[in-house]
Amino acid sequence: MDSTTSDRSAGVLLGQACGDALGVPYEFRTPPGDDELAEMKGGGLGPYQPGEWSDDTQMALCIARVAAKGVDLTTDEALDKIADAFLDWGTHGASDIGNQTRAVLRAARQSEGPAGKRLRDAARAYASRNPQSAGNGALMRTSVVGLTSLDDRDATARGARAVAELTHGDPLAAESCVLWSEAVRVAVNSGELELLAGLDLLPEERRDQWRGWIEQATDADPRQFTPNGFTVTALQAAWASITSTPEPDLDPAEGSYPCLHLQHALHNAIRVGDDTDTVAAIAGGLAGARWGSSAVPWHWRRAVHGWPDDLTVRDLVSLGIVTALGGTTDAQQWPTGDRIESRDYDYTPRAAVRHPYDDSVWLGTVAASGHDADAVVSMCRLGVGQVPATGVDIRDHVEAWLIDSDDRDKNLNLDFVLADIAAATAGLRAEGRRVLLHCVAAQQRTPSAGIAYARRLGIPGHEAVAAIEQARQRHGPTGDCGTRPSRCRQRTRSGRELGRDPDLAPRCCTNVRADLKLCPLASPTHRRFTALFGRATSGAGANSPNAISSS
């Protein structure tokens, strides 16, 4: 799975959870007005803590924890496990629960047999007693099903239908889940937002009606889709919130980034009112699939949490990726391994250096030492045993999604992420924290983040670049990037280019100094990292009042 598909997979549950937690305070209450932004302030039906998600994401996690085992969701084995998880949640975890789901779970508890069959039978019986009972309680948890078979749309549709039918017997509920899960699958694979594309997965006689409902909602004012307890109006409200929200231009100088679409769409979803957390959870699953976890601002990532076991952003990202990988991890055991370590890098502790414009911000490697930071912003993959860092509270260890690559397209939202890292650094500093910014080797991502933070402090771009380089040079003329010499890209490049540019040779990692942590920013590394940093160095970026993420 490539880095952008991985980012988008990670965005599904995270986007859903953020929409849910943002919508919780306004469920069946006065929603925020046009000039107001929803806040994760808790309360609602739970009542919930600030940042806590509700039943929508709780039930989605019941599905996710089974899906992340890589099982086929249409099998009895998988459906029994999900049904058992729903029943257990209903007894021990449900902080609030929809009327239909409550009735179905109660009836299923009083019957015998495999859990999946009991739930399905109870759901069918409920639907036959209550015509037009297609509540939004299946749609609100279906986004994660879009990750279970990324290369198989028919299997995705079968899974969405089977999971929906565990609690919702009305065909409209399952049909809405088929459409939404397919839209998530398409968005994760392609970055496209398509809802009509899944129409052929529905029975032929049902397609025209759904086409009409979707076309009615596309680009429409979402506020007309209320009340939205019905699965059709919930889908319309969520789709209208996404499609009617303009995609911002990329203009870092003005704090404008295309992926702010995710934040804007969720705020619009909550402004619809009525079942705010559910509509925003539905919208968030798809917007997260489109824009990726890297579009979710740091203060949302830091705040979201909930049942079961007080899961946090790391768990949502991990469950999404493992599900998309079919129950496995990548070759480095990421994201579920205890420690993620590259064979390319020497993990000897290396002294961090102070940021040139803030003595309480440190720049370092994954093995940074000699600093007094009590908060961390990590820009590389870490294992479950590495977060939080020693002596750091879990809430003060922020993980950012930043891929170390010369190819800007490897990062879905590069400019936004750099501004968001700067915002996170500023936010933690405002709370009195001393912050370590680190990646693996501090060659590219860490200095880029250091410059982004300097830019946020108002330092002109060229001055910021020069100052970061001077911070390195104060520690000596040669570099020690920590990369094993045989695997050092600079050394390889230096050797190859030695004849043409003799300056490269003495800067190579063969000259190891234990006290220098920022690898040379001059010569090839400087060009690489300037290419990575690109346009984000050219403007005020996150200082702009238009940057929601920095507020």
Part in contact with Mg ion (CB under 5 A); list of ranges 49-57, 206-214, 362-370, 480-488: 49-57
Count residues contacting Mg ion (CB under 5 A)?
4
AA letter at 93: G
275 touches Mg ion by CB under 5 A: no
Is 213:231 a contact under the CB 8 Å cutoff?
no
Within a 13 Å sphere around the CA of 204, how many CA atoms are in the beta-carbon half? 0
What's the rounded Cα separation, in Å, for the pair 465 and 454?
Answer: 9
User: Among residues 172 and 279, whose Cβ is nearest to Mg ion?
Assistant: 279
Q: Which residue has the tokens 């929200």?
A: 245
54 touches Mg ion by CB under 5 A: yes
Q: Which of 55, 170, 404, 420 binds Mg ion (CB under 5 A)?
A: 55
Is 337:84 a contact under the CB 8 Å cutoff?
no
User: Among residues 24 and 73, whose Cβ is nearest to Mg ion?
Assistant: 24
Within a 13 Å sphere around the CA of 176, how many CA atoms are in the beta-carbon half? 28
What's the rounded Cα separation, in Å, for the pair 314 and 337?
Answer: 12
Part in contact with Mg ion (CB under 5 A); list of ranges 4-12, 276-284, 299-307, 506-514: 276-284
Measure Cα distances from 59 to 87, 111, 144, 164, 320 in Å: 10, 22, 11, 11, 14
Backbone torsions φ then ψ of 376, nearest 5 degrees? -135, 135
Residues in a beta bridge with 230:
135
277 touches Mg ion by CB under 5 A: yes
User: Among residues 277 and 480, whose Cβ is nearest to Mg ion?
Assistant: 277
Residues in a beta bridge with 399:
378
Backbone torsions φ then ψ of 363, nearest 5 degrees? -115, 130
* Smallest separation, CB 33 to Mg ion (Å): 22
* Smallest separation, CB 59 to Mg ion (Å): 9
What's the rounded Cα separation, in Å, for the pair 540 and 78?
Answer: 50
Q: Tokens at residue 248, please? A: 């911002």
What is the total residue count of the chain? 551
Q: Hey, is 451 helix, strand or coil?
A: helix
Strands 350-351 and 368-369: parallel
* Smallest separation, CB 54 to Mg ion (Å): 3
User: Among residues 93 and 482, whose Cβ is nearest to Mg ion?
Assistant: 93
Part in contact with Mg ion (CB under 5 A); list of ranges 50-58, 213-221, 398-406, 438-446: 50-58
* Window 56-85: contact mask with Mg ion (x via CB under 5 A): x-----------------------------
| DSSP 8-state code for residue 199 | G
* Smallest separation, CB 362 to Mg ion (Å): 41
What's the rounded Cα separation, in Å, for the pair 260 and 334?
Answer: 27
User: Among residues 138 and 437, whose Cβ is nearest to Mg ion?
Assistant: 138
User: Among residues 40 and 398, whose Cβ is nearest to Mg ion?
Assistant: 40
User: Among residues 61 and 471, whose Cβ is nearest to Mg ion?
Assistant: 61
* Smallest separation, CB 47 to Mg ion (Å): 12
* Smallest separation, CB 409 to Mg ion (Å): 36
* Smallest separation, CB 34 to Mg ion (Å): 24
User: Among residues 55 and 399, whose Cβ is nearest to Mg ion?
Assistant: 55
52 touches Mg ion by CB under 5 A: no
* Smallest separation, CB 274 to Mg ion (Å): 12
Q: Which long-range contacts (C-beta less than 8 Å, at least 24 apart) are formed by 99-106?
A: 99/135, 100/126, 100/130, 100/133, 100/135, 100/137, 100/167, 100/168, 101/55, 101/59, 101/135, 101/137, 101/167, 104/167, 104/168, 105/167
- Closest residue (Cβ) to Mg ion? 54
326: phi > 0 → left, psi -120 to 50 → alpha, else beta; which? left
Part in contact with Mg ion (CB under 5 A); list of ranges 52-60, 84-92, 416-424, 441-449: 52-60
Part in contact with Mg ion (CB under 5 A); list of ranges 47-55, 167-175, 190-198, 224-232: 47-55
* Smallest separation, CB 533 to Mg ion (Å): 40
Part in contact with Mg ion (CB under 5 A); list of ranges 248-256, 271-279, 291-299, 417-425: 271-279
Provide the angle, in degrees to the nearest 10, between the axes of the packed helices 260-271 and 231-243.
Answer: 140
User: Among residues 104 and 389, whose Cβ is nearest to Mg ion?
Assistant: 104
Q: Hey, is 399 helix, strand or coil?
A: strand
* Smallest separation, CB 277 to Mg ion (Å): 4
Is 368:350 a contact under the CB 8 Å cutoff?
yes
* Smallest separation, CB 55 to Mg ion (Å): 4
User: Among residues 52 and 56, whose Cβ is nearest to Mg ion?
Assistant: 56
Q: Tokens at residue 362, please? A: 């440190």
* Smallest separation, CB 113 to Mg ion (Å): 29
* Smallest separation, CB 56 to Mg ion (Å): 5
User: Among residues 303 and 353, whose Cβ is nearest to Mg ion?
Assistant: 303
User: Among residues 7 and 55, whose Cβ is nearest to Mg ion?
Assistant: 55
Is 73:323 a contact under the CB 8 Å cutoff?
no
167 touches Mg ion by CB under 5 A: no
**CA–centroid distance for 166 within its chain:** 28
Binding site for Mg ion (CB under 5 A): 54-56, 277
